[in-house]
Structure 1
Amino acid sequence: MELKRNVGYAAAKLVEDGNIVGLGTGSTTLYFLEKLGKRIIDEELEILGIPTSYQSFLLAKENGIPVTTLEEHSIDIAVDGADEVDSRLNLIKGGGAAHTMEKIVDSAADKFIVIVDDSKVVDKLGAFPVPVEVIPQACRTVSDHVKQFGGVPALRMGQRKGGPVITDNGNFVIDVKFESIEDPAYLEKELNYIPGVVENGIFFGVTDEVLVGSSEGIKSLKK
């Protein structure tokens, strides 16, 4: 938790007065939102946030961060976590089932910064299953399709409720395990071509910078 706090706080320091900020989802971005809210109060900053989930919306409100929408504003900087980051700064996201809106917001930002601890940095994507958001009626057919790419699909089930996880968009999530992902760009596109898929958790070529928290401090990775 200390590593997540440190890197989340460091990212909050990069936000400038007047920025429109994409607000990511997850356990690391929680600390980013906490610090950003404190800066708004202490430094009297004029900042608006665009949440990527109900979680980040509620945390923004809790921390005093005014919110807006993509319909009203463009995004200067987005800050979000990741489940995996490879050597070329490609990502797997979606552990929190918010990757569809995260991809929309993060891709729209002038600058997209990823915050992770060093356990999330890998040479090649694939250890973490790829989350695929699907229309509920297409669950079986999408599962059949991903097997053709060598994936092993599993419908994500709720931990404290009966039945499957339901996304903020009212859909299901299929977690697809691959032995390794040799070509993230190709797989991202091919998964999205499957009828019934809303979006998948591979983020290829979107990241501008990764801040990595470790016991030795915070390291910046750039393209």
Structure 2
Amino acid sequence: MGPKQRAAEAALTHVCSGMVVGLGTGSTADCFLSALSAALCQGRLRDVRGIATSRQSENRARELNIPLLSPADARPDVTIDGADEIAPNLDLIKGMGGALLREKIVAQNSRRLLIIADSSKLVAVLGTRSPLPVEVATFGHSLHVPFLSDLGATPRLRVNADGSPFLTDNGNYIYDCRFSRIDDPASLQQTLRTRAGIVDCGLFLGMASIAIVGDQQGVREIHAP
């Protein structure tokens, strides 16, 4: 069992029968979906319903026979999702899977956000490993490039394998913004939010309560201060 699978299995200890669970997007979150499906099939958990954070996780949950609700139907008891970077205080960069807006909507409505990851996602300072995804409206999207560059980023429009722009589930584009480091993520997030046409960014600040981190030896829990 690899580090991602170890973290996903450990996350099941935070899920009880009857819960509503926000279902994250990405390879690590997919490990959790598989673990949750197995627990339901084996009767270790009952009456757990999910709220998907993307079409990808919705389709995967249906394949695995995990019952689904819409976001308006219930408040998740916990959302379990991956991350691209995890700072020591559990501030996060997310969104390399292309679902940052829906992930944030579900996470902010959840009673708890639990992150699962392998140890490579731990960083001392945000922005040192992963680019910061910034979701933008398609109209006039290139006008954001100089704005993002002035903030210290090297922005790059995310594209598909055929070179066409990647479209989010919301019909928007994503600019992956490479910083050398993000020393003041709260200020950066606020600045991005003031710009018309920028929908949101992959900074998840003060949202996660626990990170379960797997490595070759096992798993450990990191709690927010």
TM-score range, shorter chain: over 0.9
> How far is 1:60 from its partner?
0.6
Show structure 1 runs of 4+ deviating over 6 A.
Answer: none
1:173 corresponds in structure 2 to 174
> How far is 1:190 from its partner?
1.2
Distance 2:182 2:195 in 1: 18
User: Aligned to 1:39, what secondary structure does the other structure show?
Assistant: helix
2:139 corresponds in structure 1 to 137
Contact 1:3/1:214 (CA < 8 Å) preserved in 2?
yes
Amino acid aligned to 2:80 = V
1:99 corresponds in structure 2 to 100
Contact 2:2/2:216 (CA < 8 Å) preserved in 1?
no
> How far is 1:138 from its partner?
2.8
Distance 2:19 2:194 in 1: 35
> How far is 1:104 from its partner?
0.7
Higher mean alpha-carbon deviation, 128-137 vs 186-195, is at 186-195
> How far is 1:183 from its partner?
0.9
Amino acid aligned to 2:157 = L
1:24 corresponds in structure 2 to 24
> How far is 1:100 from its partner?
0.4
Distance 2:11 2:145 in 1: 37
Higher relative contact order (CA 8 A, sep 6+): 2
> How far is 1:197 from its partner?
0.8
Contact 1:142/1:195 (CA < 8 Å) preserved in 2?
no
Aligned residues: 222
Amino acid aligned to 1:83 = D
Amino acid aligned to 1:17 = S
TM-score by length of 2: 0.95
The one-character-per-residue Cα deviations of 1:136-159 (angstroms, maximum 9, x if unpaired) are 113112212112211111101112
TM-score by length of 1: 0.96
User: Aligned to 2:76, what secondary structure does the other structure show?
Assistant: coil
Amino acid aligned to 2:180 = E
Distance 1:37 1:106 in 2: 21
Map 1:2-13 onto structure 2 (within 5 A).
2-13=2-13
Amino acid aligned to 2:33 = L
The one-character-per-residue Cα deviations of 1:35-60 (angstroms, maximum 9, x if unpaired) are 11111121250011000001100111
Amino acid aligned to 1:147 = S
1:193 corresponds in structure 2 to 194
Amino acid aligned to 2:206 = G
Ranges in structure 2 where 5+ consecutive residues have no aligned partner:
none
The one-character-per-residue Cα deviations of 1:149-203 (angstroms, maximum 9, x if unpaired) are 11111101112x3411111111110011111100111111211211101110011
Contact 1:90/1:205 (CA < 8 Å) preserved in 2?
yes
Amino acid aligned to 2:89 = R
> How far is 1:70 from its partner?
1.6
Distance 1:70 1:208 in 2: 21
Ranges in structure 1 where 5+ consecutive residues have no aligned partner:
none
Distance 2:163 2:121 in 1: 30
Distance 2:50 2:106 in 1: 11
Q: Cα RMSD over matched residues?
A: 1.1
Distance 1:178 1:162 in 2: 23
2:217 corresponds in structure 1 to 216
1:157 corresponds in structure 2 to 159
2:208 corresponds in structure 1 to 207
1:39 corresponds in structure 2 to 39
Contact 2:2/2:215 (CA < 8 Å) preserved in 1?
no
Contact 1:188/1:203 (CA < 8 Å) preserved in 2?
no
